[in-house]
Amino acid sequence: MGINKGLQAAQKEAQIKVLEGRLKQTEITSATQNQLLFHMLKEKAELNPELDALLGHALQDLDSVPLENVEDSTDEDAPLNSPGSEGSTLSSDLMKLCGEVKPKNKARRRTTTQMELLYADSSELASDTSTGDASLPGPLTPVAEGQEIGMNTETSATSAREKELPPPSGFPSKIGSISRPSSLSEKKLPEPSPGTRRKAYEKAEKSKAKEQKQGIINPFPASRVIRASALQCVHMAEGHTKAVLCVDSTDDLLFTGSKDRTCKVWNLVTGQEIMSLGGHPNNVVSVKYCNYTSLVFTVSTSYIKVWDIRDSAKCIRTLTSSGQVTPGDACSASTSRTVAIPSGENQINQIALNPTGTFLYAASGNAVRMWDLKRFQSTGKLTGHLGPVMCLTVDQISNGQDLIITGSKDHYIKMFDVTEGALGTVSPTHNFEPPHYDGIEALTIQGDHLFSGSRDNGIKKWDLAQKDLLQQVPNAHKDWVCALGVVPGHPVLLSGCRGGILKLWNMETFVPVGEMKGHDSPINAICVNSTHIFTAADDRTVRIWKARNLQDGQISDTGDLGEDIASN
C-alpha cells in the first residue's frame, strides 16, 4: 500500500509539472500574440487620439514584462494572472476601437504569418479545457513548436470575447486562403482522396442497382410519330441504367446487353422484363440466343457466360477466349467492375451462332475461336487477320458447311468455309477486295449478297458467289456505320450510325429509300424478328420499329398507322 501511494503521488507530481509547463507555454503564446497586435496597430494610432493614448499605456505594460523574460523564466510559482492574460482584455478593447476606425487608405498587410498568429487561437476554443489537451493549430507551429497547451478559465473567457469581435477594419477578413473561423464547424474539411471517392461512387452504383425498378416496354408517344417516315417507332424498352451495346430477339423474346454489366430478357407479348442476367466483370458487348437449346450466351471482357433460362437465370458454364471451360459462373466473385484482362486472354468483341445452333464462333484478338456446343469444347481457330476482329456473321451452305464472314480493324473482310468436325487452325478461303478505308464495324448477309459497314462512313455490297464488289456508297453516313440490318418482309437494308441516324437502302439499286433520327445518341446494334426492328443506343433504351408505307423497296403513299406491336 505504501508503494502504491508513493507511485500515485509521483504520478500526480508529474502531472502537475506537465500542467505547469503547459501554463507557461500559454503565457508565452499570449504574450507573443499581444506583442504582434501592438506592433500592427502602431500605424492606426495616428488616426485616433483615443487609440493612441490606449496604445501607449498598453505598450508601457508590455515593456515592463518583455517577451524574453517570459520565455527565460523558470519560476514555477508564476501567478496565473500574468501580463499576457491582462493584455488579452486590453487587446479586446483595442479591437473594439479598431472596429470603429475607418482609415483613408487600406492598411498594408505585412506578412501572412502575423495574421495567422493573430487569429490562430479562435479555432482551439472548442477544445476540451478541462484536460488541457487542446492542440495548437497549424499557423502557431513555428512559435510553439507544435507543443500542446493548457488553457485556464480566464484565458478561455477572454479569448471567447475576442472571438465574437470582427477583425480590425484595416485588414481583410481573409488573407490568401487563411480566414478567421468563428467555430470548428466552419473549418473547411479536407478533400476526400481519389480512392475514397471511387469507393463512394461504387457504393452509390450498387445502391442504385438495388433500387432500380424492373424494366418495361412502353408505347412510343404518338405525338412524336412522323407519318411520312418509312419506319415508325411503336415502342421503347426502358430499364438499363447505362448504354445498351447489343441486342438479339425472337418473335417473343428480346435480349439486351448493356454497360451496366447486365443482360436483360424481355417478354415482347406482355412488354415486361422477365429477368436480368448479372455478375459480368464489365460491359456486356454481345448477346446471342439459341432457339434449339434455349441457351443465352453473353460476352464480357474475355468471358462467354452460358445461361439456361428455361426455369431460372442460371449460368451453367463459362467459356474463355483462350479455349478454357469452367462449370458454373467463373465471374461471380468479381462484384466490382474489372478492366484488366487475365494473362493469356483477349477481349471478345462479338459472337455468332451457326443456323443450327451447334457451333459458336467468338471473335477475340486477331482470330475467331470455334466452339462445339454439343460437347462445349473448343475445336480450333479461324486466323488470317492482322488486326482485331470486330464483327462476324455466319451462314450455312447447302452441303452443311458453315460460311463465316469476318470484319477486322485491318480494313479487310475475309471468308472462311468450315466443315463439320474441322479441327485446328483454319485459313480464309477468300479476301474481299478492295478493302474499306477503315475498320469494319458491321456485317449482314441477305441471300447471295453481303453488306459491310465501316468506320470510313461507307457501305459496300458484295456478291458471295462471285466474291466481287457490286456496289458501294462511300459516304452513306456522316459518321461511323455501326450497325446493319434487313427490314423484315422487304428488300430494304437498314443502317445505323454513331450520329444516331437510321437510313434505308433499296437492296437491288442501292439507292436511299428513307432517313430518320433514330436516337439522340450513337446506335450500337440492330436486330430484327419476323415483324419488328430493334435498335440499341447509348441513350439506355431499345427502340422498337415497324415498317410503314414500304412497297417493293420504295415508300408508298398509303399506310396503316393504327397498328402496333400488340396486334402481333
Taking residue 283's Cβ as centre, other Cβ atoms within 10 Å add up to 19
Instruction: Reduce the DSSP state of residue 548 to 3 states and report it.
Output: coil
Using the Cα atoms of residue 103, residue 106, residue 111 and residue 113 in order, give the sign of their dihedral.
positive
Q: Which residue has the higher pLDDT, 64 or 32?
A: 32
- Confirm whether 315 is domain-assigned: yes
- Give, as one character, the DSSP assignment of residue 493: E
Domain of 502, CATH number, reads: 2.130.10.10
Q: Residue 544 — very low, low, confident or very high, per pLDDT cuts 50/70/90?
A: very high
- Confirm whether 330 is domain-assigned: yes
Using the Cα atoms of residue 103, residue 105, residue 106 and residue 107 in order, give the sign of their dihedral.
negative
* pLDDT of the residue at 46: 63
- Confirm whether 75 is domain-assigned: no
- Confirm whether 421 is domain-assigned: yes
Q: Residue 90 — very low, low, confident or very high, per pLDDT cuts 50/70/90?
A: low
Do the Cβ atoms of 538 and 557 come closer than 8 Å? Answer: no
Whether pTM exceeds 0.75: no
Q: Which residue has the higher pLDDT, 168 or 237?
A: 237
- Confirm whether 2 is domain-assigned: no
- Confirm whether 4 is domain-assigned: no
Distance CA 282, CA 341 (A): 10
Q: What's the average model confidence in pLDDT over 74-84?
A: 43
pLDDT tens sequence across 220-270: 886 554 556 889 999 999 999 999 999 999 999 999 999 999 999 999 999
User: What domain count does the chain have?
Assistant: 1
Do the Cβ atoms of 409 and 375 come closer than 8 Å? Answer: no
Q: Which of 67-81, 86-100, 212-226, 458-472 has the highest mean pLDDT?
A: 458-472
The answer, yes or no, to whether residue 362 has pLDDT greater than 90, is: yes
- Confirm whether 204 is domain-assigned: no
Picking from 49-58, 108-117, 202-211, which range would have the lowest pLDDT averaged per residue? Answer: 108-117
- Confirm whether 273 is domain-assigned: yes
Of 540, 568, 545, 430, give the one whose Cα is nearest residue 494.
545
Instruction: Reduce the DSSP state of residue 436 to 3 states and report it.
Output: coil
- Which range marks the domain in which residue 432 is found? 220-334+344-547
Map 503-527 to HEC letters.
Answer: EEEECCCCCEEEEEECCCCCEEEEE
